[in-house]
Amino acid sequence: MPRLLNHTVSVEPTAEAAACTAVACRNCGLYQLGRLPGREEADPTLLQRIACSRRQLRKGEYLYRLDEPVRAVYAIRYGSLKSYVLSGDGRLQITGFHIVGEPLGLNDLATGRHTSEAQILEPTSLCEVPLDHLEKLSVEVPSIRSQMLIILSREVQHYQELMLMLGKKNAEERLATFLLGLSSRFEQHGFSPLRFNLSMSRGDIGTYLGIAEETTCRLFSRLQEEGLIRAHRRSVEIRDLDRLRQLALR
Amino acid sequence: MPRLLNHTVSVEPTAEAAACTAVACRNCGLYQLGRLPGREEADPTLLQRIACSRRQLRKGEYLYRLDEPVRAVYAIRYGSLKSYVLSGDGRLQITGFHIVGEPLGLNDLATGRHTSEAQILEPTSLCEVPLDHLEKLSVEVPSIRSQMLIILSREVQHYQELMLMLGKKNAEERLATFLLGLSSRFEQHGFSPLRFNLSMSRGDIGTYLGIAEETTCRLFSRLQEEGLIRAHRRSVEIRDLDRLRQLALR
DNA sequence: CGAGTGGTTGACCACAATCAAGACCCGTGG
DNA sequence: CCACGGGTCTTGATTGTGGTCAACCACTCG
């Protein structure tokens, strides 16, 4: 397995994922699009037809930028990225971090132009499905549109949680919620929920949580002092899941 | 025209709307579902088939509550309501106010259960389309699903703006943004963008903007002192659109 | 006319922002 | 191999915005 990833990497691709030669597979966020009504498993043939091409991107590159026409939807094979919206005077609010196995890019279908930007956080491999291809396919296979609705509706739920965070939680509760969220997403994709590496900086985390970078740092320290976590730079270990949950789930 | 509405009402139904006997019509947020590919105007026959029943609700009633199964999607004929999400310990974050002509209820399709609640703010009339009915129809008319995607994607854009607000704007900028947003929505639906009545309390506005009720009050006073608006209780007049925009669009 | 809800204003305080300095870690090049 | 530089992270000191508590007012409805 080529060592693509440096220490800042959130998760190394598992042997399984690295060995997977399919453009879209179980690990990939578009898997769901391949589901037929009433079936849990995706239809492999359909999946083959959906998946088009891979794309490899380096840290700092943009997947898409503001006002660009929406050309495709994506799924993350490995790696991670952040997406964010911008205010008139350039302040930015990160609206989500996307990690391995998650779909991306359905947000801006209404306008046909991106209202947000997506930037790569670490070496990342994506599966890319051009919109016109998806369009054609979904005429023939209507279930694809249903699945798109479901994915988008999940996105909405994520945003609702984030709004609750930004509007109602204090800084400590926000960080706890953030860490638990990551934890369970890693678990969903077969990684350890208690030990993981962050691919984003303290500044990014702050920009996501609506707090300052310095505050984020202080909170990492505080949670560590209180024994809830152990953290050094990008590596995080959750030591007291229960108390962390207590903090977050308020 | 029956006087259904008291002084707290955001907008009186226009003569046209009141006279409209159709369940779904131009004024109604489901109008868009009746659009066929490439057409601006909705297909009247299709619209007739989509629209099912009306429903009349009073202030304080719930359209749906947390964890209830999603039964239908709605469009507002007249009136308004708020929807909100709840934290573990009962704090609530209002995620949107819905006014005349806007669609509602597509958010929770993924889970099939409501992750938010919707409560009526003033006497309100809705057009209701049961999900199974919509389901059946959209097998036959696939464009319906596309339109649902577009509606949901608009919703996402609204949330992105709200997150920018909650995460990055100060209290004054939030209120300015809020007032301008309402203003342009009223305008879209044929009402005056410079004079309107709010259907929500100061507390609700605060809960939406992530600030305290008292702060909301103070800001109304401040914007009035500075000559940007005139406000008395639920009635608002925008007096200096440009400066208000300057504040909001940062 | 009185009660109750919603709105307003004031005083005080706390949480988190900002400013500032320094430590740590990495990649790079000598 | 080590020295350097830049980015990231950390901690401290100070400030300020907005939260909280409290009292009072205004308007509506019964």
* pLDDT tens digits, A57-69: 999 999 999 999 9
Count of Cβ atoms closer than 10 Å to residue B226 Cβ: 14
Strand partners, B73: B129
CB proximity list for A150: less than 8 A, separation 6 or greater: A32, B109, B110
CA dihedral B221, B223, B224, B228 (to 10 degrees): -170
d(CA A219, CA A222): 5
CA proximity to B111, closest of B147, B66, B156, B153: B66
A9: confidence class by pLDDT, cuts 50, 70, 90:
very low
B149 Cβ contact list (under 8 Å, min separation 6): A109, A110, A145, A148, A149, A152
A180 interface with B at CB cutoff 8 Å: no
Chain A contact present for B83, CB below 8 A: no
Over residues A103-110, mean pLDDT: 90
Other residues' Cβ atoms within 10 Å of the Cβ of residue B115: 18
CA distance A163 to chain B (A): 6
More confident residue, A6 or A93: A93
pLDDT of residue A50: 85
Q: Is the pLDDT of residue B30 over 60?
A: yes
| Burial class, A150, CB count within 10 angstroms (exposed 0-12 / middle 13-18 / buried 19+) | middle
Question: In chain B, whose CA is at the least distance from the CA of A151?
Answer: B110
Give the residue from B94, B150, B163 with the most A CB atoms within 10 Å of its CB, the best one to mutate. B163
Residues in reach of strand C, judged by a CB distance below 7 angstroms, are A 6-7, 170-172, 210-212, 214-215, 232-233; B 201-203, 213-214, 217-218, 220-221, 231-234
Total CB pairs under 8 A between chain A and B: 142
Q: In what order do the strands lie in the sheet with A235-238?
A: A195-197, A235-238, A229-232
Q: Could you give the residue range(s) of every CATH 2.60.120.10 domain in chain A?
A: 4-167
Share of chain B above pLDDT 90, in %: 71
Nearest by CB to A91, which of B152, B166, B168?
B168
Query: Ranked by mean pLDDT, which of A8-12, A48-52, B20-24 comes out on top?
Result: A48-52
- Testing the interface with A: which of B66, B91, B93 to mutate, by most A Cβ within 10 A? B93
Res B7 pLDDT > 80: no
Please give the CATH architecture assigned to the domain spanning B169-248: Orthogonal Bundle (1.10)
B93, pLDDT greater than 90: yes
| Residues 6-65 of chain B in contact with strand D via CB under 7 angstroms | 6-7
First to last CA, chain A: 43
Q: Is the pLDDT of residue B150 over 50?
A: yes
Arithmetic mean of pLDDT, A139-145: 90
Class of domain A4-167: mainly beta
Average pLDDT over residues B33-43: 83
Structure tokens at A79: 């790696």
User: Does the CB of A161 have a partner CB in chain B at under 8 Å?
Assistant: yes
Q: Return d(Cα B248, Cα A180) in angstroms, integer.
A: 34
CATH 1.10.10.10 positions along chain B are 169-248
**pLDDT top residue among A86 and A52:** A86
Contact B30, B127 (CB under 8 A): yes
